[in-house]
Structure 1
Amino acid sequence: MINSLQDTIKLNNGIEMPGFGLGVFQVENDATAEIVKNSIEVGYRSIDTAAIYGNEAGVGEGIKQALVSTGLKREDLFITSKVWNADLSYDETVAAYEESLQKMELDYLDLYLIHWPGINKYAESWRALEDLYTAGKIKAIGVCNFNVSHLQDLLKTARVIPVINQVEFHPHLQQEVLLAFCKEHNMQLEAWAPLMQGGLLEDPTIAKIAEKYGKSNAQVILRWDIQNGVVTIPKSVRKERMVQNADIFDFILTDEELQVINEMNLEKRVGPDPAEFDFVM
């Protein structure tokens, strides 16, 4: 379990990844540079974006500014992006990766993911990711929003086991079967929408636990993620909220409190169901 904002977990290929980071989903490109710069200045080292977010250029500019203001080096950061559904052929995936690098003005990515499995679309894309990885152009490769059936299918032919499966994960969607499968196959689960896109920030069950520790609902939920061994990347656009979200390492939820939150599972999504999601934008 990580014990600070910059603590890392070891992925199945030996690469170290921060266990807590910043997501920039639905952040406008023009605002992204300042947000990323601020996050790095307050101690974040992991930034998660995607081609479809339309803000990779802003992420790259924020990184550039933060390296100047903090004196950090590129290798001190862990940068993730994702290939979109429209680019899942072999050649399209390679081109999409190069375009992401160009937009961010980076020489490499630490982690590159297939954003959605689509309907039987990921095999060629994964082969491209494997080749980019074995050529040393990416530090690690993984997937997003893959159900157990998708992972089982992928593992039949994969030469490289995904290091990460990034999925919707929060107290109302705990994905117990998927989490167990990923642990069994040494794939790290990573949570997007860990706060259910704000849907749990006033939940009374969590609020009762939060009151005991003098914390917010968000902090309790993010702590629950950490104690479950799940990497998490909450979105924050304000510097003070970034600091608050990361202020979760000075308390520990008891087994009883963890169980109370575990019992909140409703298998309720705020995002699309990966078994059905196949649109191209």
Structure 2
Amino acid sequence: MTGTAAEATGTAAEPGTTAELAPGVVIPLIGLGTWPMTGEEASDAVARAINHGYRHIDTAENYDNEEAVGEGIRRSGIARGDLFLTTKFNKQWHGGTGVREAFGTAARRLGTEYLDLFLIHWPNPAQGRFVEAAAGLTRLAEEGLIRCWGVSNFKPAHLRELQAAGLEVPVNQVQIDPEHQQLDQLAFHREQGIVTAAYSPLGRNGGFLSAPAVTSPAEEYGKTPAQVVLRWQVQSGRVAIPKSADDRRQRENLDVFGFALTEGEMAGIDALETGAPPRLDSDEFGH
């Protein structure tokens, strides 16, 4: 097979712009989120983002846009080995040979022979098969079909179940923004060496973007409030996956590595935490 996971090395990245998930597997700290874009909107946004410099694209089976994302990648002309591609699969594939089938289906839709990162989208604990699903992912990684595996929306209790089965999770993609920091979740990730990937990193209503803790650094550094929040995410060591189909915002979201927030500025954004839980409870919701 050509272009296998083992052969994918990607392009050299600037220091401080990536995180290591596993030996030889680095993920760009800023990725393009693609939900809820579909069809031509998704293809066009992905192609333009790659041409703006994005090297990390995030999608999922449930977004119903994997084929469109694959088309955008092809349209961009980028070499597959220069791109970090993440997707996620649903609960119907948990257990048995399902994970292998999920990979084959996702790879066909995306038009790729391998995935850089394949995630269990939700734990669905009532179904009780996410440990089996994670074990299936490790087998795909051993065979070189995926470069790395991980999970999304897993609480510490779910992660402990995986650890009890001898499965060490490299990355967990969860909702993190200044008002929803999930402090216990982040603390567990730090203690266990799990990389945090933040989805909805700019929130959903954007209210905190007008807070002085965000607007003051924005004025100081000549950046937008959104750039300041994304800088807070990556400076905290997190991967951030903002969605945008707008050229200007795509460029701005990627341009967060040329400045640094002070400890006081970081603490000011940290203080915006409200203690509110994530939008969806992964003990109850899942697909």
Partner Cα distance (2:28, 2:274) in 1 = 29
Distance 1:66 1:228 in 2: 31
Q: Which residue of 2 aligns with 1:142?
A: 150
SS in 2 for 1:153: helix
| Aligned equivalent of 2:37 | 27
Residue 166 of structure 1 is matched in structure 2 by 173
2:96 to 71, 75, 90: 90
CA–CA distance in structure 1, aligned partners of residues 215 and 15 of structure 2: 23
> Does the 8 Å contact 2:131/2:161 carry over to 1?
no
Q: Which runs of 5+ in 1 are unaligned?
A: none
Does the residue aligned with 1:117 lie in a helix, a strand or coil?
coil
Compared CA separation, residues 7 and 257, structure 1 to 2 (3 A)? closer
- The corresponding residue for 2:9 is none
Aligned partner of residue 223 in structure 2, secondary structure: coil
2:234 aligned partner: 226
Query: Equivalents in 2 of 1:48, 1:236: separation in Å?
Result: 12
SS of residue in 1 equivalent to 2:47 = helix
CA distance in 1: counterparts of 2:16 and 2:267, whole angstroms:
27
- Counterparts of 1:259-270 in structure 2, within 5 Å, are 259-269=267-277
Partner-residue secondary structure (3-state), 2:147: coil
51, 66, 69: which one aligns with 2:76:
66
After superposition, the Cα gap between the structure-2 partners of 1:242 and 1:198, relative to the gap in structure 1 and judged at 3 Å, is farther
Count of residue pairs the alignment pairs up = 272
The answer to whether 1:46 aligns with 2:56 is yes
Q: Given residue 20 of structure 2, which amino acid in structure 1 is its aligned partner?
A: K
Does 2:201 align with 1:191? no
1:104 maps to: 110
Cα separation, 1, equivalents of 2:217 and 2:114 = 42
Please give the root-mean-square deviation of Cα atoms over the aligned residues, in Å.
Answer: 1.8
Q: Cα distance, 1:230 vs. partner?
A: 0.5
The letter of the residue matching 2:75 is Q
Residue type of the partner of 2:198?
A
> Of the candidates 180, 185, 190, which is equivalent to residue 178 of structure 1?
185
Structure 2 counterpart of 1:211, from 210, 219, 233: 219
- SS of 2:27 mapped into structure 1: strand
Instruction: State the match for 2:261 in structure 1.
Output: 253
CA distance in 2, matches of 1:269, 1:239: 32
Q: Percent identity?
A: 35
Give CA-to-partner distance per residue, 1:218-269, whole Å, 9 cap, x none.
1110000011000111001112110011222222111111111111111324
Q: Find the counterpart in structure 1 of residue 86 from structure 2.
A: 80
Moved more, 183-192 or 6-15: 6-15
Range that drifts further, 241-250 or 85-94: 85-94
Separation in structure 2 between the aligned mates of residue 114 and residue 29 of structure 1, nearest angstrom: 24
Q: What TM-score do the two structures reach when normalised by structure 2?
A: 0.89
Match of 2:19 among 9, 30, 37: 9
Unmatched tracts of structure 2, length 5 or more: 1-12
Q: Which residue of 1 aligns with 2:8?
A: none
